[in-house]
Structure 1
Amino acid sequence: MLNTMGALNRYREALRVPGIPRVVAAAFLCRLLAGMVSLALLLAAVEVSGSYAIGGAVTAGYAVALTIAAPVWGRRADRLGFSRSLVTGTVLQVLAFATFVLTALFFPEPLLLVAAAFLVGSVNPPSGAVSSTIFTTYVTAPQARTTLLALNGLMTEGVFIVGPMLVGVLVAVISPLVAVMATALVSTVGALWLAGAPAVRATDRPRPPAPAERRFAWPPGQFGILFVVAMAAVGIGAVNVTVVARSTDMGANAGLLLGVMAVGGVLGSFLYGGLKLPGRLPSLLMAVLALYGVSILLLGLELGLLATLCVLLFIGFANGPADAIESQIVADRAAEGTRTQAFGWLTSANWIGFAAGTSLTGFAIENGSVAYGAIVGAVASLLAAAATMIRPRRTAEVAAEIPAK
């Protein structure tokens, strides 16, 4: 029988670390951006252009920019300090959001809208990478680190429930552009609150530049885990498209189905953070991804609504711990002073994989059936599970000891 009180006690112990409650609260506000921004930009672009194709291009522009910029901002935070990078990114992001709103109001040309969205994505403050670094650097107790990284995953699942709801309410009551401005406000408050947190300032030590040949290279020791993250994200993207297609066939609400899966993710993340599981991290990750991949195959069957809801709840539950385990592995393989950049690469791998998964699955369903989409997701997730066994030839710690030429 699961010891629920024991799990809750581990969360209480982790949140008793001085300064961590503020970091957690600020990190949740910052993460609301991820749950709101794509939908807000999409609806705003559709409103001013009348085209879903342009709306899709706008969100793609944001995603591409974020993918490119995340490790750059992570490296800047490692080099110049967390607070300084967060404040700089926040100021630039406010200006970028204002540019998007003004473009939508006065110059709603498709290319200008895409360019403005690209600008917004390129100046996203490194809030997620910084908070993850705090959880793995400022917090030294292993169980507390595991619990906080699981809480990170729980918050990520939660914002994709709360964020779209907030955008939906703002769009229904006022307008999509107000939803865009609200997204900017939430991100600004969260990032500035995080920048001023005592735990952030206590860990905030700017580092000297790295040797020239390693200033912005692929992080040593990270290839295997980043490949796993990308392939797992392909599976997640495939599941999202498959669920939407399945909801159309069933006459059900896609938001309800995806919401149930997110609830499963919250439960899985919560339990992972509150338990002490045996085994090495790569083995645990292989287990949850294999379970996730096998369960996705059930989405290809013509199940009823209740059975589909149960499957989605289980899929979310199986995938819930994956984010926390991936973050732990990334942190363990990152050299001192490069961890924030490593988390930036983690963000990029997730976005690349998700975009590839949604595109590939859409093509598979369009030219086959919903079952093909489930197969894409299952294959990608099982491939990710197999790739967890890739061992780094050279760790970041070893690379950091190599002298400059």
Structure 2
Amino acid sequence: MHNPYAEIFRVPGTKGFAAAAFIARLPIAMAPIGIVAMLSQTRGEYWLAGAVSATFALTNAFAAPQISRWIDRLGQTSVALPTTIISVLAFAVLLIATRYDWPAWTLFLSAFIAAAMPSMPAMVRARWTEIFRNRPELNTAFAFESVADEMVYIAGASLSVGLSVALFPEAGMLVSTLFLALGMAAFLLQRSSEPKVRAPESANVGSAIALRPVQIITLALIFVGAIFATAEVSAVAITKELGQPTAASLVIGVYAAGSLIVGLIVGALNLKAPKQRLLAMSIAVVALTTLPLLVADTVPLLALAIFASGVAISPTFIMAFGLIERRVPEAMLTEGITWVMTGIGIGMALGAFVAGWVVDNFGAQNGFWVSVAAGTISLLVVLLGQKALAGAGEVELPQAVPQAAE
């Protein structure tokens, strides 16, 4: 029986860089929650732990696209190597500052500098694109990476917290930092699969976020990310309200399982429909499946509704990254992918905040209204942007704003 996933790994080097990329991106999930687990145990102040974690996460969300922009211009090794070294050293300072009770400002400063960590999900997708550009195998490769992202978020957070609780407070962050250093080193040493640096068609090129397709997809996925976070926050609140708090991890796991299974299936299919339509269809399913969450008032019903709500998440990401590959110039691909990843991260942060506020003020069940609203807005964004997303194959490079004459 034909296995499309086996096909993509027959290309020499793909197994190596995919394995290294998985290890190197574990800190995406491990670091934010690891900082909270570490500082909450050593300092006993959750506001401080949350603030330092947010400093890292938000700074990285906005720094990563700029780092990726330089990666497109200079190459993965030339940029990712020094930025990773900076990030690893800053994480090391954060660990030392925690262990030896240094002043709080050192925690914030080291977390801020650690945000120089480059976007591994963008870099590994750029390598797949270099190999399978304009071929159906690229859809399978993107599906594999979406599933890998899901596994990172499931395993990374649990591993980080588990290590900190079972061993010592800094254990989760220590392992996360080692994964970043070793995984990135293994990834960058595989030079044969590194994408070529392509000179832009214009010498005065602006940012990928100036491209209309990148704006539309990033905005749409901000709201999809909000759905993802809202489901987690509301699931924890509802299971606690029902007197079964331990069921929260099971419910959240079911959510990821639904996304993972359907993502693998979609990646194995050679879908012929235009990707902008497939993206709209995926988000329509995401929006529609938020409705049963409003009436899930028992743990079994909640698990079933959450599973249904998760089935279209991975397909949405697969189509979104496929469109970025089609609509963004080759010289700006890594930056374009990183902006979409940034949108997902911003959406998760905002979704968790808004859902938490709704739960506190209007009850656990009403938290899912945030999911309904976010799904509706995301669908409207993609429907209104269909013409731009279906644009011609050639994309005009955005021009940087010229400097005023002295």
Alignment equivalent of 1:316, drawn from 310, 313, 317: 310
Matched, 1:10 2:16: no
Residue 65 of structure 1, CA deviation: 0.7
Contact map agreement 2:39 2:98 (CA 8 A) in 1 = yes
Contact map agreement 1:224 1:388 (CA 8 A) in 2 = yes
Q: Would you identify which runs of 4 or more consecutive aligned residues in structure 1 move more than 6 Å? A: 393-396, 401-405
For structure 1, which segment, 150-159 or 288-297, has the greater mean C-alpha deviation from structure 2 after superposition? Answer: 288-297
Alignment equivalent of 2:396, drawn from 388, 396, 399: 399
Alignment equivalent of 2:342, drawn from 343, 348, 362: 348
Contact map agreement 2:24 2:179 (CA 8 A) in 1 = yes
For structure 1, which segment, 156-165 or 217-226, has the greater mean C-alpha deviation from structure 2 after superposition? Answer: 217-226
Q: TM-score, normalised by structure 1?
A: 0.91
Contact map agreement 1:73 1:344 (CA 8 A) in 2 = no
Q: What are the equivalent positions in structure 2 for 1:4-43 lying under 5 Å apart?
A: 5-6=1-2, 9-43=3-37
Contact map agreement 1:40 1:167 (CA 8 A) in 2 = yes
For structure 1, which segment, 385-394 or 157-166, has the greater mean C-alpha deviation from structure 2 after superposition? Answer: 385-394
Structure 2 gap ranges (5+): none
What letter matches 1:233 in structure 2? G
- Indicate the residue corresponding to 1:134 in structure 2: 127
Determine the C-alpha separation between the residues in 2 that align with 1:168 and 1:21: 29
Contact map agreement 1:10 1:274 (CA 8 A) in 2 = yes
Matched, 1:263 2:266: no
Q: CA distance change for structure 1 residues 401 and 171 in 2, over 3 Å: closer, same or farther?
A: closer
Per-residue CA deviations over 1:162-182 (Å, capped at 9, x if unaligned) read 212322332233112121110
Matched residue SS, 1:18: coil
Determine the C-alpha separation between the residues in 1 that align with 2:40 and 2:280: 41
Contact map agreement 1:82 1:204 (CA 8 A) in 2 = no
Q: CA distance change for structure 1 residues 358 and 403 in 2, over 3 Å: closer, same or farther?
A: closer
Q: CA distance change for structure 1 residues 263 and 398 in 2, over 3 Å: closer, same or farther?
A: closer
What letter matches 1:247 in structure 2? T
Contact map agreement 1:154 1:320 (CA 8 A) in 2 = yes
What letter matches 2:68 in structure 1? G
- Indicate the residue corresponding to 1:190 in structure 2: 183
Determine the C-alpha separation between the residues in 2 that align with 1:234 and 1:124: 23
Per-residue CA deviations over 1:206-250 (Å, capped at 9, x if unaligned) read 6479644x3446331321111111121122222221111112112
Determine the C-alpha separation between the residues in 2 that align with 1:288 and 1:54: 39
What letter matches 1:218 in structure 2? I
Determine the C-alpha separation between the residues in 1 that align with 2:283 and 2:112: 32
Determine the C-alpha separation between the residues in 2 that align with 1:172 and 1:374: 31
For structure 1, which segment, 103-112 or 139-148, has the greater mean C-alpha deviation from structure 2 after superposition? Answer: 103-112
Matched residue SS, 2:362: coil
- Indicate the residue corresponding to 2:209 in structure 1: 218
Q: Say what the alpha-carbon RMSD is for the aligned residues.
A: 2.3
Determine the C-alpha separation between the residues in 1 that align with 2:317 and 2:400: 34
- Indicate the residue corresponding to 2:96 in structure 1: 102
Q: What are the equivalent positions in structure 2 for 1:247-326 lying under 5 Å apart?
A: 247-250=239-242, 251-253=244-246, 254-326=248-320
Q: What are the equivalent positions in structure 2 for 1:50-199 lying under 5 Å apart?
A: 50-121=44-115, 123-140=116-133, 142-199=135-192
Aligned pairs, how many? 396
Matched, 1:234 2:231: no
Determine the C-alpha separation between the residues in 2 that align with 1:77 and 1:67: 16
Determine the C-alpha separation between the residues in 2 that align with 1:369 and 1:199: 54
Contact map agreement 1:235 1:354 (CA 8 A) in 2 = yes
Matched residue SS, 1:235: helix
Per-residue CA deviations over 1:60-79 (Å, capped at 9, x if unaligned) read 11111111111111011011
Identity, % of aligned pairs?
Answer: 23
Matched residue SS, 1:204: coil
What letter matches 1:330 in structure 2? I
- Indicate the residue corresponding to 1:387 in structure 2: 381
Contact map agreement 2:328 2:395 (CA 8 A) in 1 = no
What letter matches 1:319 in structure 2? I
Determine the C-alpha separation between the residues in 2 that align with 1:344 and 1:97: 22
Matched residue SS, 2:331: coil
Contact map agreement 2:286 2:309 (CA 8 A) in 1 = yes
For structure 1, which segment, 179-188 or 291-300, has the greater mean C-alpha deviation from structure 2 after superposition? Answer: 291-300
Q: TM-score, normalised by structure 2?
A: 0.90
Q: CA distance change for structure 1 residues 219 and 16 in 2, over 3 Å: closer, same or farther?
A: farther
Residue 108 of structure 1, CA deviation: 4.2
- Indicate the residue corresponding to 2:328 in structure 1: 334
